[in-house]
Amino acid sequence: MGTRHHSQQDVVVVGARAAGGATALLLARMGHDVVVVERSLFPSDTLSTHSISRSGVVQLARWGLLDQVLASGAPAIRQVTFHVAGESITRRVKDRAGVDHLVAPRRHVLDAIVADAARAAGADVRFGVTVTGIRQDDSGRVVGVTARDPAGDPVELDARVVVGADGLRSRVARSVGASVHEARRSDGATHYAYYAGPGWRGTEFFLGEAAFAGVFPTNNGEACIWVCSPSPHAEAIRRRAASLPEAFDEMLAEAAPELASRLRDARRTSPVRGALRLPNQVRQAFGPGWALVGDAGYHRDPITGHGISDAFRDAELLAVALDRALEGEVYETTALAGYQRQRDEALRQIFDITCALATYPPLAQFIDLQKRLSTAIEVEAASLAARPVPGERQLAVA
């Protein structure tokens, strides 16, 4: 079959997960013609530390999606317990910035909710579509994408702007030659699995020397159990273990023996998943006719679990910038340069804390960094809560 040609869209978003779905949702609510292409067929899972910090929950509430997340069976998390050196401290989640709980929905649930909301707002969301390349004009400006639909037929989509929200290994970023502005040491490892069992007591953190483990309750009465550690240590355990589940059990018993003991009465309901040496990096965020959002533009070690909150924050910054450019209020370059500047300022403190935590400093310093992280998240949440809600008029009608 021949290539299917389409009329020009305002924006083509590549990737429909947290960052891409949210960008499309906000742009559609602001009245723009948006096509979203996603190679997966939703609902589908993805490698993710999906506990959402207060700033991310604030975004879900502001966009009118939090009730749907709770209705999906993701429990409202109202307490956080820290286990350190044989002592445990439990704190209630206080009512701040308009929310009084946290959530940790599975990604196949969360991503589908955001993508469905984007479609309901008017975005054209297409699953099973794989982008194969970027189209540029004679000046080098990006003017669209080439792709293949679920049947394997070629597709061309024209756009005033292409947004790469296609993850850490972004095809869009590679195709446009987006440079890495900042790269930090990447020596962390994260492994996790899901368990069904006795009631889960909110989010829990187990802090130890060169080890960090925890629990967060999620959908269907299950909990995600995770372990973060230096990559060399995790690699050594993986080499001597007979299997990845056996290695995970050893990591957990070492990092959080109390938790490992509790899990003897629980049932593992998933394979063990993990990643080693994920990069800490900040990429160039825009160029002629293109922009990056989410992990495509900024990635950090999972140890702080801030990826979804980062994605939601940056999706809004980008959507507002694109709205101004598409409406002719400012030049595109000016708007997108403003987006990059705001993104880089917004990520700075938590990125620095994340990189410091991922070196696994002595326990006292690790605890101090965790306190600084908590303060930084509260400041970020308050800042987001004070912003005007993009597309608020359409949200009110819906």
Confidence at 5, pLDDT banded by 50, 70, 90: very low
Task: Provide the pLDDT for residue 197.
Answer: 80
- Architecture of the domain delimited by 188-276: 2-Layer Sandwich (3.30)
Q: Give the mean pLDDT of 200-225.
A: 95
Question: Could you report the per-residue pLDDT of 57-88, keeping only the tens digit for each?
Answer: 999 999 999 999 999 999 999 999 999 988 99
Task: Provide the pLDDT for residue 183.
Answer: 97
CB 34 within 8 A of CB 27: yes
Q: Which of 175, 215, 172 is nearest to 195 (CA)?
A: 215
Q: What are phi and psi of 224, to 5 degrees?
A: -90, 125
Contacts of residue 242, Cβ cutoff 8 Å, sequence gap at least 6: none
Inform me whether the pLDDT recorded for 165 exceeds 50: yes
Q: Which of 42, 49, 111 is nearest to 274 (CA)?
A: 49
Q: Give the mean pLDDT of 4-24.
A: 88
Task: Provide the pLDDT for residue 8.
Answer: 78
Q: Give the mean pLDDT of 173-191.
A: 96
CB 190 within 8 A of CB 299: no
Task: Provide the pLDDT for residue 1.
Answer: 43
Query: CA-to-CA distance for 385 and 180, rounded, in angstroms?
Result: 30
Q: Are strands 222-230 and 124-127 parallel, antiparallel or unpaired?
A: unpaired
Question: Could you report the per-residue pLDDT of 279-327, keeping only the tens digit for each?
Answer: 999 999 999 999 999 999 999 999 999 999 999 999 999 999 999 999 9
- Residue 218 tokens, joined: 């999620």
Domain assignments of the chain as residue spans, ordered by start: 9-51+107-184+279-360+386-397, 188-276
Task: Provide the pLDDT for residue 199.
Answer: 81
Q: Give the mean pLDDT of 345-357.
A: 98
Confidence at 49, pLDDT banded by 50, 70, 90: confident
- Could you tell me which residue, 292 or 47, shows the higher pLDDT? 292
Task: Provide the pLDDT for residue 396.
Answer: 52
Query: CA-to-CA distance for 192 and 281, rounded, in angstroms?
Result: 23
Q: Following DSSP, what letter does each residue of 336-361 receive, concatenated?
A: HHHHHHHHHHHHHHHHHHHHHHTT--
Inform me whether the pLDDT recorded for 390 exceeds 70: yes
Task: Provide the pLDDT for residue 6.
Answer: 53
Per-residue burial over 97-109, b = 16 or more CB atoms within 10 Å of its CB, e = otherwise = bebebbbbbbbbb
Q: Give the mean pLDDT of 7-31.
A: 95
Inform me whether the pLDDT recorded for 244 exceeds 70: yes
Q: In a 10 Å sphere around its CB, with 0-12 CB exposed, 13-18 middle and 19+ buried, how is residue 268 labelled?
A: middle
Percentage, residues of the chain above pLDDT 70: 97
Query: CA-to-CA distance for 237 and 233, rounded, in angstroms?
Result: 6
Q: In a 10 Å sphere around its CB, with 0-12 CB exposed, 13-18 middle and 19+ buried, how is residue 191 labelled?
A: buried
- Is CATH 3.40.50.720 the classification given to domain 9-51+107-184+279-360+386-397? no
Query: What global pTM score does this model have?
Result: 0.96
**Mean pLDDT computed over every residue of the chain:** 95
Q: Which of 393, 390, 374, 391 is nearest to 55 (CA)?
A: 374
CB 83 within 8 A of CB 207: yes
Query: CA-to-CA distance for 290 and 336, rounded, in angstroms?
Result: 9
Q: Give the mean pLDDT of 170-191.
A: 96
What length does the chain have?
A: 398
